[in-house]
Structure 1
Amino acid sequence: MEKTSLLSITFSLTVLSVQLAISHASSTTVLCQDTERQALIEFKRGFYDPSGRLSSWVGEECCRWEGVGCSNVTGRVIKLDLRNDRIDLFSDCDDNFDYWYGVSKGCRWALYGDISPSLLSLPHLQHLDLSGNIFVPHRLPEFLGSLRSLTYLNLSTVGVAGRVPEQLGNLSTLRHLDLSYNFYGLLELYVEDPGWLSRLTSLRRLNMSFVSFRNASNWLQAFNALPHIQAVELMSCDLGTFPPSLSLVNFTSLTSLDLRYNNINSTIPDWLFNITSLEFLYLGGNDLNWLIPQSIARLTSLKALDLSQNAFHDGFVPAALSGLCRLQSLYLTDVPINDSLANLQVIFSGCLMPSLQELYLSHTQLSGTLPDWLGDMENLKSLDLSSNFLHGSLPASLGNLSMLQNLDVSSNDLNGSIPDAIGQMKSLVSLILIDNSLRLSRVHLANLSNLKDLDISYNSFSLEGSNDWIPPFQLNTLSMELCEMVPRPHFPKWLRTQTALTYLDLSGTGIQGAIPNWLPPSLEQLELSYNGITGGMPQHLPNLGFLSLSNNGVSGTLPSRIAETMPAIQFLYLSTNNLSGSLPPSLCRNKFLYVLRLAQNNLSGDLPNCWKNSSSLVVMDLSNNTLQGGIPHSVCDLKKLQSLHLSNNNLSGQMPLCLNSLTELETLDLGHNSFVGDVPPGFGENLLNLKTLSLRSNAFTGSIPPLSHLASLQILDLSNNNLSGTIPRSFGNFSAMKLSPQKGDYDIGGAAENMWLFVKGAESEYSSLLPLVTVIDLSNNGLSGSIPEELGNLQSLQTLNLSWNYLTGEIPTNIRGMQQLETLDLSRNNLSGSVPSTLATLNFLNHLNLSYNNLSGRIPTGNQLQTFTDPSIYAGNPNLCGPPLAKGCPKDKSIDDKEKQSEDIDSRTETIWVYASITLGFIVGFWTFCGTLLLQWRWRFAYFRAIDNMSDRLYVVTVLSMARLKRKLRGSGQDG
């Protein structure tokens, strides 16, 4: 026993010694190896760190640096996690990296730079996450394929483009790969040959959304070689089609498949329904056709199904979905169901009804009323029936949906009062009723204690007797745009209780008075346009990013310290108010300011010369004020500026050539000012995106520069200046005026562009139709020479105004090339020659003015010219004649004489023909009769015998008549 105890004690001491040794070894390996520390330092040198995220990377203990993870046993670096969770996909993080637009605070936290090959000195690295940072240069390095120990690699949203390196296929131990949401400007990240993916045999999760597979037809075969794959996300990868068949489906462990927005224009292949392990299937945003196959019922594990935005050209038969008893989320948005909502009960009459938690049926062409059976979906949490043709009232049965959190019935024809039962839905978080004719009051909201988002725009909301109302909820967003509020308040006092509001829209509600000073500082978006708001600007809203007070009566000056009171402002809409004073220099320090619209106010003073640090500004609209001075050169530092409106001010001086550096500029409107000097000869050389150029109503002199390099130009207005010289022949090369204008909004900075244009003899404001307008207006200058024939190449030009100049020569006959021309004004020039008959071929011409020139000859007629009956459009041309002028042409008399002579000739000819016909008829009749007598002797004998008999009878009758006459004469003589 003693021996046994001794052995036991000895063994315990040995184990304890080993444990202490291991513990000691662990404690002594806290410091990472020098080679790995040096590799991390080299990695840090390759990045610019504006937020100081890598400031902890000092000292010897690199395992304690932020984002670095080491093995507890060996001390080797196994993890590098520097992801930037604050990145915004739709952000614009620096001058060289543009996703789309916008400014994200998350960009300040991003690392910028190149991935150093020093990572190769971390041979035990298993986890690498650099997502949300910015790679410069914008490409994926090939050496990443040599990090053979990697099991996790996340390089999503790092702004790279070009080919995905096939060396990544060497990472045979990789279990998670994420390359999603990568592109640089218009360049995309793409896979040339997906064969390398088949070598990632340990892969469980793959996300390559927004990586193009456009030319990689064997993508499915590559994924089919991954036996352990569980989740595949390939959203917006340009896959194009479904391979119709697979000999063998290997990825039987697949639980999630996301193929949304891939332009797949085929049927759903049957092999897909053999993957019975699928729980999440997303096929939305494609062009799937044919019927939904009945075999979809084999996917008994399915929890989420997205078939939205598919046409199903051959019909949509939803009954096949009724057997999916585990289905929780069903997305059918934009599927043309085109049926009564009541008829869809066939889907939900079975096991699907108690299972479903989310149902999205917006834009499905549903009609009829809302059926009561909707209230039987007891586990429903989200119901979206928006943008359909539903009518009638909301059924009280919806109140049975005690778990419902999101209800959206917007953009239908619903009417009537909200049922009281809806006011009992205490789980409701989001209630969207926009664009109906519903009536609701505070009573309907009295018990919605969890409500966070409320949109009742375009409805009616009663606030009667609610001055002291304290709602039970704390809203995050509230929209009441164009909501009829009864009575119309100065400002809803109950909003004072909503201290968590981030979004508030009360535009067009008719509220009056000043903006209260109790608005919650949490506000990020405030929309109060089209009201009767007076008083000054709101103050001290540190989180406000969007402010619209357009079309009100706001007065006073802009806050002198606006950069401090609104440090986060990005969109500032203050047009059409009564603001006065000068622009505060503090405005330039709003470094996130993206859109600045201050048109139609009473602003005065000089434009501040402080814009150098306003690097984010995309729209500056200061038109219709009384600003003076010149354009400061710091405006040319706004490298992202796309729209510059300075028209209708008192600005003067010369036009700075440095505007050429604004390469993103699409609209430049300097009209109605007092600018002088020449238009710079090299102007526009770099403005390849410029669509609208207006220098109207200034005092510019000199000749017009060629400008033909402005390939995107659709509107050119240089009218009412002192320009001289000839019209450049290169104007016939404006590319955008040769092509049909593109439909769609001319949207810059989240709002449609607007311009005042002089078209069809009147000045009109264009906004939504602006992208469809093409104009050249050079009127009221001192231009000379002839009209270039090259203008006939502009087949999409709609308005050409060259009036009030000194143009000579003839109107070019090839004007017929302007097939879309609607307005042509060549009045008040010295044009000569005739009016070309080719004008009659312009089928869209509806406004014409050729008055006060030296045109001569007959006015042509035909087609569209027949509609111009106003003689004033030809006035002042003494040598013009013919309709619609009262003056006849000199050749008209001789033409009439010729016509009269022609009529006389025709009359004589007709008479001759009449006599000739009679004569001919006599001859034909005579010879027909006489010829018969000559040829037929029996007819001749009978004819002459008849003549003899008739003569004899005539003779006898004559003799007897004469005898009677003689007797009567004798008898009358005797009586006398």
Structure 2
Amino acid sequence: MEHLDLSYNAFSGPIPDSLPNLRVLELSNNGFHGTIPHSLSRLQKLQDLYLYRNNLTGGIPEELGNLTNIEALYLSRNRLVGSLPPSFARMQQLSFFAIDSNYINGSIPLEIFSNCTWLNWFDVSNNMLTGSIPPLISNWTNLHYLALFNNTFTGAIPWEIGNLAQVYLEVDMSQNLFTGKIPLNICNATLEYLAISDNHLEGELPGCLWGLKGLVYMDLSRNTFSGKIAPSDTPNNDSDLLALDLSNNNFSGYFPVVLRNLSRLEFLNLGYNRISGEIPSWIGESFSHLMILQLRSNMFHGSIPWQLSQLPKLQLLDLAENNFTGSIPDSRHYIDIDWKGREHPFKDISLLATGIDLSNNSLSGEIPSELTNLRGIQSLNISRNFLQGNIPNGIGNLTHLESLDLSWNKLSGHIPHSISNLMSLEWLNLSNNLLSGEIPTGNQLRTLDDPSIYANNLGLCGFPLKISCSNHSSSTTTLEGAKEHHQELETLWLYCSVTAGAVFGVWLWFGALFFCNAWRLAFFCRIDAMQQKLM
């Protein structure tokens, strides 16, 4: 027997090791436990060993290094501990190596970088590995996939990483302790996937990143990069990028013009930086494939451009925590988008399919009624603005809505009864407004029994508040009377202030003449001169 495949069963117990002619042993996705038997090293003809997704414990036997013919070794998703044996460097035919999702510690032996030159796939992610990545990584010229994420690697990203691969390369070094800058030489690699998020990298981004052909995914978020995202002299080359995440850094400047060439972009996150200025009008014509746009927590200002309506595939818009002013864009153009397999005509902002967050800005005006046409939206947050007017009566049309936050505005009038049609609603906040009348009940609203949902709306009554609506008319009359009385007091204070100012000014003038002899003499001389001139 040369090939034994017992994967995807429920076998348990120790691993069998008495088949000396095996070339392929597949025992993955079972319940094997205990340690990896040292006797596996006697299977000298073994080329592929698959032990991933079991309950194996203990360390990796040093003797496995004797499997000099092995080409694929998968030990992922077990509970292995200890360090990588230096003897693995004898596996000079090794092409696929995966030991991710274990508890392996220590550093990667230098001998592996020196001798395992045929490596195509190297995955040690989700472990506890330490140390730096040496320049010897340049020996892995056949590498297509490098996964080092979620460890505690330190030091700088080696310059030699730019020498890897003559074909498309995927690199994920996220969630480590790498420091320094991104080496310019990285642009020499034919990158397809680059993720270096959650590290301590700094400085400006190499301008060459924007001209890499074949790069479809780049995640540099949660570092300390600074400066402009792209200098003004960055070449405006077409890009293949589909996803770009630069969030949680210290980038400044304006919305980068270089992004205008990312015509295939589907995901863009520039949140939590210090980018200022306005959202450019060309965003509508340039990002026709964009589905997610996140600009949260920056210093953008001006109005929200209506050109966002030209993004026919946009599903999530997050512009929260900026300085946007003006009103939420109303309808200007009809655009047909495909939602759940059917065509729907939507207008402007209402075409945004699953989520809108415009909270913590300075938006004013009324809530556009077009928002209620967005039948697929799941989350709507426009809290902490200066919005006025009524809640649209068609709010109940948003039957897939799970979260609605309209708090901290100046909304007035009654809460529409149609809000009880929101059968999927799990989160609601209408507090700190000027709403009045009886709170609608029924359906999902009965489960939202926290009074703070409606707090600081002096005109509301009914469940879950402790204000009975039987006294609502008298309460409303009292409230209106209080408002009129408040206005009368304001008028009275205005008159008193004007009168007091006039009296004070007169006495101040005549008091000065009375007590100051020189002023009084000059005043009367001026009067005499005017009298002589009139005569």
Task: Check whether TM > 0.5.
Answer: yes
The answer to whether 1:739 aligns with 2:335 is: no
* Structure 1 counterpart of 2:439: 859
- Aligned 1:481-500 pairs, distance under 5 A: 481-485=76-80, 488-500=81-93
* Structure 2 counterpart of 1:262: none
- Aligned 1:349-360 pairs, distance under 5 A: none
* Structure 2 counterpart of 1:430: 24
Residue aligned with 1:856, SS: strand
TM-score normalised according to structure 1 size: 0.45
Cα distance in 1 for residues equivalent to 2:299 and 2:340: 33
Rg comparison, structure with higher value:
1
Partner AA of 2:440 in structure 1: P
Cα distance in 1 for residues equivalent to 2:300 and 2:341: 29
- Aligned 1:37-52 pairs, distance under 5 A: none
Shift of 1:805: 0.6
* Structure 2 counterpart of 1:524: 120
- Aligned 1:44-123 pairs, distance under 5 A: none
Shift of 1:409: 1.8
Cα distance in 2 for residues equivalent to 1:618 and 1:824: 34
Shift of 1:600: 0.5
Shift of 1:455: 0.8
Q: Is the 8 A contact 2:65 2:91 kept in 1?
A: no
Cα distance in 1 for residues equivalent to 2:107 and 2:27: 28
Cα distance in 1 for residues equivalent to 2:324 and 2:313: 23
Q: Deviations over 1:831-864 (max 9, x none)?
A: 1110001000110011100111111111111111
* Structure 2 counterpart of 1:101: none
The answer to whether 1:542 aligns with 2:138 is: no
Quote the RMSD (CA, aligned, Å). 2.5
- Aligned 1:17-32 pairs, distance under 5 A: none
Cα distance in 2 for residues equivalent to 1:405 and 1:453: 11
Q: Is the 8 A contact 1:712 1:735 kept in 2?
A: no
Partner AA of 1:489 in structure 2: G
* Structure 2 counterpart of 1:449: 44
* Structure 2 counterpart of 1:727: 328
Cα distance in 2 for residues equivalent to 1:619 and 1:470: 36
* Structure 1 counterpart of 2:295: 695
Q: Deviations over 1:407-453 (max 9, x none)?
A: 222121111223444x33x1x22211111112564455244222111
Q: Is the 8 A contact 1:823 1:845 kept in 2?
A: yes
* Structure 1 counterpart of 2:175: 576
- Cα separation, partners in 2 of 1:630 and 1:835, compared to 1, 3 Å: same
Shift of 1:888: 2.6
Q: Is the 8 A contact 1:621 1:646 kept in 2?
A: yes
Partner AA of 1:710 in structure 2: L
- Cα separation, partners in 2 of 1:435 and 1:785, compared to 1, 3 Å: same
- Cα separation, partners in 2 of 1:615 and 1:679, compared to 1, 3 Å: same
Residue aligned with 1:654, SS: coil
Cα distance in 2 for residues equivalent to 1:888 and 1:463: 67
Partner AA of 2:245 in structure 1: H
Cα distance in 2 for residues equivalent to 1:741 and 1:635: 39
Shift of 1:661: 2.2
Residue aligned with 1:713, SS: coil
- Aligned 1:246-325 pairs, distance under 5 A: none
Cα distance in 1 for residues equivalent to 2:397 and 2:9: 47
Cα distance in 1 for residues equivalent to 2:151 and 2:247: 21
Partner AA of 2:319 in structure 1: L
- Aligned 1:569-608 pairs, distance under 5 A: 570-590=169-189, 592-608=190-206
The answer to whether 1:413 aligns with 2:413 is: no
The answer to whether 1:710 aligns with 2:304 is: no
- Cα separation, partners in 2 of 1:460 and 1:711, compared to 1, 3 Å: same
Q: Is the 8 A contact 1:820 1:842 kept in 2?
A: yes
Shift of 1:567: 5.9
Shift of 1:638: 5.3
* Structure 2 counterpart of 1:97: none
* Structure 2 counterpart of 1:611: 209
Partner AA of 1:453 in structure 2: D
Cα distance in 2 for residues equivalent to 1:450 and 1:849: 66
Q: Deviations over 1:3-28 (max 9, x none)?
A: xxxxxxxxxxxxxxxxxxxxxxxxxx
Show structure 2 runs of 5+ residues with no match. 343-352, 476-535
Shift of 1:685: 1.4
Q: Is the 8 A contact 2:356 2:381 kept in 1?
A: yes
Shift of 1:657: 3.6
- Cα separation, partners in 2 of 1:472 and 1:543, compared to 1, 3 Å: closer
Bigger drift between 594-603 and 465-474 goes to: 465-474
Q: Deviations over 1:718-738 (max 9, x none)?
A: 0000001111124996766x7
* Structure 2 counterpart of 1:560: 159
For residue 286 of structure 2, the aligned residue among 680, 686, 700 is 686
* Structure 2 counterpart of 1:779: 359
Cα distance in 2 for residues equivalent to 1:464 and 1:842: 55
* Structure 2 counterpart of 1:650: 250
Residue aligned with 1:637, SS: coil
Residue aligned with 1:840, SS: helix
Residue aligned with 2:420, SS: helix
- Cα separation, partners in 2 of 1:472 and 1:554, compared to 1, 3 Å: closer
Cα distance in 2 for residues equivalent to 1:882 and 1:464: 65
Cα distance in 2 for residues equivalent to 1:791 and 1:819: 12
Partner AA of 1:854 in structure 2: L
* Structure 1 counterpart of 2:511: none
Partner AA of 2:4 in structure 1: L
Quote the sequence identity (%): 39
Residue aligned with 2:275, SS: strand
Cα distance in 2 for residues equivalent to 1:831 and 1:468: 73
Cα distance in 2 for residues equivalent to 1:701 and 1:530: 41
Q: Is the 8 A contact 2:38 2:63 kept in 1?
A: no
Cα distance in 2 for residues equivalent to 1:733 and 1:505: 51
* Structure 2 counterpart of 1:823: 403
- Aligned 1:5-20 pairs, distance under 5 A: none
Q: Is the 8 A contact 1:732 1:793 kept in 2?
A: no
- Cα separation, partners in 2 of 1:824 and 1:405, compared to 1, 3 Å: same
Q: Is the 8 A contact 1:657 1:683 kept in 2?
A: no
* Structure 2 counterpart of 1:628: 226
Cα distance in 1 for residues equivalent to 2:39 and 2:420: 65
For residue 101 of structure 2, the aligned residue among 490, 499, 508 is 508
Shift of 1:867: 1.5
Shift of 1:612: 5.0
- Cα separation, partners in 2 of 1:698 and 1:731, compared to 1, 3 Å: farther
* Structure 2 counterpart of 1:26: none
Cα distance in 1 for residues equivalent to 2:391 and 2:439: 13
Of structures 1 and 2, the one scoring higher in RCO (CA 8 A, sep 6+) is 2
Partner AA of 1:456 in structure 2: L
The answer to whether 1:668 aligns with 2:268 is: yes
- Cα separation, partners in 2 of 1:812 and 1:465, compared to 1, 3 Å: closer
TM-score normalised according to structure 2 size: 0.80
Cα distance in 2 for residues equivalent to 1:883 and 1:788: 28
* Structure 1 counterpart of 2:490: none
Shift of 1:457: 0.7
Partner AA of 1:533 in structure 2: L
Cα distance in 1 for residues equivalent to 2:409 and 2:270: 26
- Cα separation, partners in 2 of 1:636 and 1:873, compared to 1, 3 Å: farther
* Structure 1 counterpart of 2:449: 869
* Structure 1 counterpart of 2:481: none
Shift of 1:800: 0.3
Residue aligned with 2:284, SS: coil
Q: Is the 8 A contact 2:60 2:85 kept in 1?
A: no
- Cα separation, partners in 2 of 1:838 and 1:464, compared to 1, 3 Å: closer
- Cα separation, partners in 2 of 1:731 and 1:432, compared to 1, 3 Å: farther
- Cα separation, partners in 2 of 1:731 and 1:695, compared to 1, 3 Å: farther
Bigger drift between 438-447 and 718-727 goes to: 438-447
Residue aligned with 1:660, SS: helix
Relative to its length, the structure with more strand (as a share) is 2
- Cα separation, partners in 2 of 1:560 and 1:864, compared to 1, 3 Å: same
Cα distance in 2 for residues equivalent to 1:535 and 1:671: 31
- Cα separation, partners in 2 of 1:524 and 1:893, compared to 1, 3 Å: closer
